[in-house]
Amino acid sequence: MDKLTEFLIKPFVEDLGAIKDHRITYAKEFVRNCPNCENMIVYKHYSNYRKGIRKNKVCQSCVTEIVADKMRGRTLSKKHIEKMRNYMLSLGDRNPAKNHNTRKILSEKASLRIGNRNPRFGCKLTKKHKDILRKANLGKIHSNDTKQKLSKIVKQWNANLSSDIKQKYIEKATRGWIESKFGISYDEYLRTHPKFVLYKNKVWKETRKQPVHSLNNHDKRGRAGIINAYQLDHKISMFDGFHKNISPETIGNIKNLRMIPWKENISKGSKSIYE
């Protein structure tokens, strides 16, 4: 290769390496700008390029935006949806939405759309809708894969949240659980349920937060009936605490806890021990 040819070809080869654009391999390409966003539109065929000029066509991403704007707040007719569904079914494996790359692009786009451009943002499901979903999922068992995914999500969730916010979520879950179990509202449950049961729940909630493993004989903790098994005991009993208006936090505190043999625990009953 003589020096002149080298000089002429080199920059082109370098460009080719840098751009790595498949379009360069085409001998012919026709370029015009989008009248809406002024981005470059590249045509492979002259006839399409002419058509674009004649009809003053916008680029594909502008078309998508315009259509989305038009459709915002509207719903498709059932007939139309049926037609679209049949078309997608007829595609089968050729369905572009099932393509791995497409899914990746879509999820990236969706993450950008979080906020008011996402039509579902901030929307709440109606009770009717929730019931439909609940019935659809009734009796279904998660596969091991799904279980693993879910536990991963929960672990991430646990790691990222402050304890205050976690507490709020837990309370919300408790409300939901009680409402679905008893079929009454949480306020009504608090009003109608025996006060002593609620008090005991609060004491146990506090007790679970305490460092009970530091108590003597904690390593022998076990069920009633097992030889040498010890049980956790509230020195001032929950019964006395309830009737003498002592706060559940005091009764559940580590200072009021001890480990005693299960037989002793049963014979003690609702009595208190004052040391």
- Member of 59, 236, 251, 257 binding Zn ion (CB under 5 A): 59
Taking the C-alpha atoms of residue 251 and residue 234, their distance in angstroms, rounded to an integer, is 7
- Member of 30, 36, 65, 268 binding Zn ion (CB under 5 A): 36
Taking the C-alpha atoms of residue 226 and residue 96, their distance in angstroms, rounded to an integer, is 64
Q: How far is the CB of 26 from Zn ion (least distance, A)?
A: 22
- Determine if 57 is a binding residue for Zn ion (CB under 5 A): no
- Determine if 257 is a binding residue for Zn ion (CB under 5 A): no
Q: How far is the CB of 54 from Zn ion (least distance, A)?
A: 17
- Determine if 62 is a binding residue for Zn ion (CB under 5 A): yes
Taking the C-alpha atoms of residue 198 and residue 256, their distance in angstroms, rounded to an integer, is 19
Cα dihedral 99, 100, 102, 106 sign: positive
- Member of 37, 42, 133, 224 binding Zn ion (CB under 5 A): 37
- Determine if 253 is a binding residue for Zn ion (CB under 5 A): no
- Determine if 217 is a binding residue for Zn ion (CB under 5 A): no
Our CB check for Zn ion shows the closer of 19 and 37 to be 37
Closest of 169, 257, 259 to residue 221, by C-alpha: 259
- Determine if 34 is a binding residue for Zn ion (CB under 5 A): yes
| Tokens matching residue 172 | 């919300």
- Determine if 203 is a binding residue for Zn ion (CB under 5 A): no
Q: How far is the CB of 37 from Zn ion (least distance, A)?
A: 3
Taking the C-alpha atoms of residue 95 and residue 171, their distance in angstroms, rounded to an integer, is 44
Q: How far is the CB of 136 from Zn ion (least distance, A)?
A: 41
**Whole-Å CA distances, 220 to 188, 214, 215, 256, 267:** 40, 12, 11, 19, 19
Phi first, then psi, for residue 148 (nearest 5°) are: -60, -45
Residues that bind Zn ion (CB under 5 A): 34, 36-37, 58-59, 62
